[in-house]
Amino acid sequence: MSSRFQNKYRIPSARLQTWNYGNAGMYFITICTKNRDFYFGEIINEQMNLSDIGKIAETEWLKTVGLRPDMNLELGEFIVMPNHMHGIILIGKNQYNSNNNNDDGGRNAMHCVSADEKTNNSNKEDKSVNQFGPQSKNLASILRGYKSAVTTFSRKNKIEFDWQARYHDHIIWSMDEYFRISNYIINNVVNWKNDRFFK
């Protein structure tokens, strides 16, 4: 990918370019507040005490599945921390991804295909490759809607708050990885002082 666009530098995408983020799969996401400011509350005695905007960040995440019933979503473990949130979201087979040529006979991230296995099959025509353009019915659209809902609440209620512009995602390729990440999320509050987001 070129590092320049219209003669201006741009940040390269962190997305896996050979993967369609509307595909059925398990995704681990992290979204930070702007400048990693502690908008969402504070941790006292190994307990997360949510601020008003932190409570909205939690509530809006819980609404994700109900707002998008057509995408066959499930939420895994998640946590709202002082300056970020972690969550696991599962996109199931649905009308928008059921025809994607991404899973080599029904296998995909939900069925624990390794990244190497996906790469080795890249010589076959794959209509699932990430494409620039309108993002809908995929991970990006889910997170855009979530971030927008929290931001809208903050502005309507005159609460100082802003998100970092981007987010981090990781495709979960195995159940071992799923359990390891789930455990990381569950223990995030207890391990806060050793967290890279702690400052």
Q: In this predicted structure, what is the pLDDT of residue 105?
A: 34
Which structure tokens are listed for 116?
């190497």
Per-residue pLDDT reduced to its tens digit, 95-144: 988 776 554 433 445 444 433 334 333 333 344 444 444 568 999 999 99
> What are the extents of the domains in the chain?
19-116+133-194
Tens-digit pLDDT string for the chain (199 aa)? 444 434 443 333 445 556 788 999 999 999 999 999 999 999 999 999 999 999 999 999 999 999 999 999 999 999 999 999 999 999 999 998 877 655 443 344 544 443 333 433 333 334 444 444 456 899 999 999 999 999 999 999 999 999 999 999 999 999 999 999 999 999 999 988 877 776 6
The pLDDT value recorded for residue 135 is 65
Give me the pLDDT at residue 121, please. Answer: 35
Q: What is the spatial order of strands in the sheet that 84-91 belongs to?
A: 73-80, 84-91, 25-32, 168-172
Q: Strand locations in the chain, DSSP E?
A: 4-5, 8-9, 25-32, 41-44, 47-50, 73-80, 84-91, 168-172
Q: What per-residue confidence (pLDDT) applies to 107?
A: 41
Q: Please give the sequence-ordered ranges of beta strands (E in DSSP) within 45-83, or none if there are none.
A: 47-50, 73-80
- Does domain 19-116+133-194 fall into CATH 3.40.50.720? no
Q: How far apart are the first and last CA of the chain?
A: 33
Residue 71 burial by Cβ neighbours in a 10 Å radius (0-12, 13-18, 19+) = buried
